[in-house]
């Protein structure tokens, strides 16, 4: 995970929250939507990495467990950082 990817995902989550709520006004509801959107985008981006790891491994339950364990250090921080940046971005529009 790099900070610039988390920031980009957070800004995308903020933009997505504007589309979902239909407003760009600062509110607790839009901040909640932006935070959730950022987390979802972060999880999606980390999921792509998980699929890449799984495809590189041999098929089977051991490979699935290995892929999940290898992706966890990427998925959790990326998801959390994207959510934080989206929430912060929604407060300054």
The per-residue DSSP string of 50-66 comes to HHHHHHHSPSSHHHHHH
Distance CA 62, CA 73 (A): 18
Position 10 confidence tier, pLDDT thresholds 50, 70, 90: very high
Question: How many angstroms from the chain centroid is the CA of residue 51?
Answer: 15
Backbone φ and ψ of 58, nearest 5°? -70, 150
What pTM was estimated for this model as a whole? 0.72
Cα separations in angstroms, 55 against 17, 42, 44: 33, 20, 17
Report the pLDDT value the prediction gives residue 1, as an integer from 0 to 100: 61
Domain total in the chain: 1
**Which domain does 19 fall in, by range?**
3-90
At residue 47, the pLDDT reads: 73
Q: What does DSSP assign to residue 2? A: -
Higher per-residue confidence, 12 vs 74: 12
| pLDDT tens, position by position, 24-78 | 999 999 999 999 999 999 988 877 545 555 555 544 544 555 555 555 566 678 8
């Amino acid at each position: 995970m790099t900070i610039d990817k988390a920031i980009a995902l957070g800004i995308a989550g903020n933009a997505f929250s504007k589309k979902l709520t239909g407003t760009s006004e600062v509110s607790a509801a839009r901040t909640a939507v932006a935070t959730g959107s950022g987390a979802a985008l972060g999880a999606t981006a980390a999921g792509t990495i998980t699929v890449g790891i799984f495809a590189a491994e041999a098929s089977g339950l051991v490979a699935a467990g290995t892929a999940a364990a290898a992706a966890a250090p990427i998925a959790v921080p990326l998801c959390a950082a994207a959510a934080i940046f989206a929430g912060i971005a929604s407060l300054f529009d």
